[in-house]
């Protein structure tokens, strides 16, 4: 634990607007008792697709440009930011400081993170990537803070 | 139309936190295509119950005290305020300035308003009202603005 | 009093971010005891100039375009909106729903409104209006709510 | 630089409400050209005193209780949190995650931090500490992030 941990913990705790924190927690509880996790994940994938359809990004020529364009959209709604990084056969997408984990709670992270699969898949598709490339949640990093989501854009069979 | 209408329209438009407006609209769209309105209404009734269970109100002796206690809770999360009024056989509950209508959109108002049924029913039950009294959405008032919700606490058969 | 008044009153009360309401009230109290009203007004005129220099507006061809451009900037920071109206020899500027009055309090309105003189003067100057035209606070309208500011762009001698 | 630094940097950047960031920066610029730093510092000390007079804290028996009580007040207005620590002859007060540095800018930190001297002095005085104990800004820690303020409660001659 470094000296920054309590600061990050504080910021993460307040990152979700107070107006919707209790509502979202109650929604997560209802979805958890009402539907299997995979259906909730699919629901959040589709919500991510719809949200991003309302936040279009122009065609970019470089990964850096794309990252800047994505982050302008995320920052406009206080949803944190991402880092894009080429890693051999795939592309790593790291999304941090979003209110998602705090909004829906730690128990829902497995399916609520589907939101970012739908969001990034929709944005990359609009950039014209080959259809066999899919965005997927990557294995959680060790010691991964709740507000960090790791994704991978790769061939769907990988 | 009075001079205040454009002001109210502006305030209503910004009343839902920008962080969750697009997410909530997308959620409403998914729920609308996925479930019949009555099931969505029931979901929102249960969400209202859960939210209010986390915002307990002490026993009050008068309707005025109760209104003050309810509104302290609503204001803490920027959810507007209510007016309670005895009207013969029933009690009128008017809730205004909540972000609900703007968050889920005008098409969802019929079922999203279920949130307030669940919320007020739970609070009144905790005050010890007889179980045959139920909170229900009242007929919408003429020229009723989207951010106003009219409810009625009455015998369930009424 | 119409039925909308309590709603407007509620919205006006919460229009200033809770993070800065107490700070701004304390600042207003300190400025009130420390400086004469005219110096405070001048300070707020200059603050308005600086704020608007950081929110540039492109050259517009019509009053409607200009109003849209101004309001895009104001809405981005939750500062309400304005209406521009030609009225014979002068131009009326009505700014509503700003957090200014709530932030600095009713006693400071006379000098805090200087903010909008500086802001609109700077924006109109950048549009290339003749230098003898000045933005000034107009006589307060009767029954004028605290969150409404009336200004006038006219020859300085008028 | 650790992996948390970009996250902290992001959170610090958005910690000041967008409604008041440009206003506060403009205020800081005006105060900087208008008054010597020491007068600005005194102004912010007095603002801190006034703000905290409106956020009273009950008498506490332990340092832990006091820290909890202070932080409940700070969190209610999104002003971060403090840690209190006894250190021999003095008491260390570390305040982090406040919007102050971002609001008034790095050049103003020397005098804007006076806010916390006034705030903590007023709170400690209300707890009945001997009058010769004063809260003062401590020497900035090495590598001290802009959003961290170190203070010391000690005999005024120390």
Residues of chain A with pLDDT under 50: 1, 141-144, 158
The predicted structure's pLDDT at residue D140:
59
Which of chain D's residues have a Cβ under 8 Å away from the Cβ of C23?
47, 51
A11 vs D: CB within 8 A: yes
Asked if D6's CB is within 8 angstroms of A8's CB, the reply is no
A63 vs D: CB within 8 A: no
Which of chain A's residues have a Cβ under 8 Å away from the Cβ of B113?
none
Q: With 90 as the cut, is the pLDDT of residue C76 above it?
A: yes
Which of chain A's residues have a Cβ under 8 Å away from the Cβ of D2?
2, 4
Nearest Cα residue in chain A from B54: A22
Which of chain C's residues have a Cβ under 8 Å away from the Cβ of D78?
18-19
Residues of chain B with pLDDT under 50: 1, 142-144, 158
B34 vs A: CB within 8 A: yes
Q: With 90 as the cut, is the pLDDT of residue D158 above it?
A: no
Give the domain extent around B147: 4-155
Asked if C19's CB is within 8 angstroms of D16's CB, the reply is yes
Pick from A3, A4, A7 the residue to mutate for testing the D interface (most D CBs within 10 Å).
A7
D44 vs C: CB within 8 A: no
Angstrom distance (rounded) from CA D44 to CA D47: 5
Angstrom distance (rounded) from CA D40 to CA D19: 23
* SS3 letters across C86-136: EECCEEEEEEECCCHHHHHCHHHHHHHCHHHHHHHHHHHHHCCCCCCEEEE
Which band of pLDDT confidence, cut at 50, 70 and 90, is reported for residue C4? confident
Q: With 60 as the cut, is the pLDDT of residue D143 above it?
A: no
Question: What domain count does chain D have?
Answer: 1
Nearest Cα residue in chain C from B8: C8
- The candidate with the shortest Cα–Cα distance to B78, out of B99, B50, B47, is B99
* The pTM of the whole model exceeds 0.90: yes
Q: With 80 as the cut, is the pLDDT of residue D9 above it?
A: yes
Angstrom distance (rounded) from CA A68 to CA A74: 10
CATH of the domain at B122: 3.30.70.2590
Element (H, E) at A85: strand A81-87
Interface ipTM: 0.94
Contact assessment for residue A92 and residue A138, using Cβ atoms and an 8 Å cutoff = yes
Which of chain A's residues have a Cβ under 8 Å away from the Cβ of D10?
80-81, 96-97
């Amino acid at each position: 634990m470094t000296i920054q941990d309590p600061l990050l913990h504080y910021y993460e705790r307040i990152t979700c607007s107070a107006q919707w924190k209790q509502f979202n927690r109650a929604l997560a509880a209802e979805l958890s008792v009402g539907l299997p996790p995979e259906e909730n994940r699919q629901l959040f994938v589709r919500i991510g697709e719809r949200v991003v359809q309302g936040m279009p990004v122009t065609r970019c020529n470089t990964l850096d440009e794309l990252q800047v364009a994505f982050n302008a959209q995320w920052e406009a709604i206080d949803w944190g930011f991402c880092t894009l990084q080429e890693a051999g056969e795939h592309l790593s997408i790291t999304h941090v400081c979003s209110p998602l984990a705090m909004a829906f709670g730690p128990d829902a992270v497995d399916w609520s993170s589907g939101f970012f699969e739908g969001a990034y898949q929709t944005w990359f598709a609009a950039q014209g990537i080959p259809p066999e490339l899919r965005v997927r949640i990557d294995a959680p990093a060790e010691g991964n803070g709740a507000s960090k989501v790791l994704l991978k854009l790769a061939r769907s069979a990988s």
